[in-house]
Structure 1
């Protein structure tokens, strides 16, 4: 369960007005396409530490309370929480900032600072490497690199920590979970993932550098352009 937005409480009369009829209730609650099944839900909470403190709590306590509520209502439920990071003082409603920071598709579509056509023109005009975090892609000499989701995640993790060497164990802990289809790699097999990523980067493979005995580091070259998302990528809460 990611952080959730909780609207202000409506009046009793408003709640009655909002109650669906018996005819439409089932249809609204089962709005799942044929051939698919509901496996959970995502809620967004728009609240910063100052507002939480003013209410006598903090974000960590709020997360734990929501997790405990889910466990109390459905003991077998599994939860996951992430904190939304945004530039200090950024404007807009808290919940909209949270949705954008957590890369919610509808929020990204509304707030994209550069439209797709303009971004494509910028990519085609750039000879070298374009690492487009906002659109989850890498362009090499005007050609889109065919990276897998996990390969892009690996590259993005290093890019967002530019200048710092990241150990193999940190990569594993941050990017893999026991629920992954291929399971969790060990520190040896992480090297295989890096080699596959490098092979797809072609002549730019050395932007992912090995620091012997420590791990890996992203090295920015003069011909590397990074297009960040409008807000920082979230880390695990």
Structure 2
């Protein structure tokens, strides 16, 4: 055997058999749901009011129908359900946050409830907290009765609109109430008691002579509403 043959057959870095590559390590799978459960669908919160939709040349209904059509095109077996989130006019806040709270998003509710009550008590003025059924006046909780709060809440949710006494009676009293169905004079008495407990802020409940009552928001009045059920409109 020649030296050339020996040199040619000796293993080198060029003719040494390649070592088999180790199988790739699979990346850990990230689950969208906890172990032992299965995903049955998802929720997409869309924050946009009617005015913003109109400015974009569309409407809430058209957006909903487009999203439904997209879901049906991608997955024909998908079922869809749409609901609109309601809030008092001028309530403020990011649209998507209002939507998440109104539609009972657990994470949004948990964050909202985790806020210390001192946030409500850190300001002078009036806080009408519809979600917790309370009114705070200058850092103190007002001692409203259930019916007094219902009356104030009814006016607050219809801010700027004059409500006649007959509508208040029809909406807040029924035959199942312990007391007799009130007349218009009884409503005046309830409003007078409510105003007395509102103290120096009594004028947020305004009398429209000959018609009824109206809630007028002032700069020192804050409305907190986070968990109002939203009806399915689409």
TM bin, normalised by shorter chain, reads: 0.5 to 0.7
How far, CA to CA, are the matches of 1:183 and 1:111 in structure 2?
A: 41
How far, CA to CA, are the matches of 1:161 and 1:169 in structure 2?
A: 15
* Uncovered stretches (5+) of structure 2, i.e. residues with no partner: 1-64, 66-82, 87-94
Q: How far is the alpha carbon of 1:180 from its aligned partner?
A: 0.5
Kept in 2: contact 1:162–1:217 (CA 8 A): yes
Secondary structure of the corresponding residue to residue 199 of structure 2:
helix
1:66 alignment counterpart: none
1:177 equivalent in alignment to 2:174? yes
For the aligned residues, what is the CA RMSD?
Answer: 3.1
Q: Which runs of 4+ in 1 moved over 3 A?
A: 107-111, 113-117, 230-234
Secondary structure of the corresponding residue to residue 130 of structure 1:
strand
* Uncovered stretches (5+) of structure 1, i.e. residues with no partner: 1-49, 51-84, 92-96, 102-106
| TM-score, normalised with respect to structure 1 | 0.52
Kept in 2: contact 1:86–1:232 (CA 8 A): no
Map 1:1-237 → 2, pairs under 5 A: 86-87=84-85, 112=109, 114-231=111-228
Aligned residues between the structures: 141
1:182–1:87 Cα change, 3 Å: same
| Per-residue CA distance 1:29-67 (angstroms, 9 max, x = gap) | xxxxxxxxxxxxxxxxxxxxx9xxxxxxxxxxxxxxxxx
1:120–1:203 Cα change, 3 Å: same
Question: For the pair shown, which has the larger CA radius of gyration, 1 or 2?
Answer: 2
1:222–1:86 Cα change, 3 Å: same
How far, CA to CA, are the matches of 2:187 and 2:176 in structure 1?
A: 17
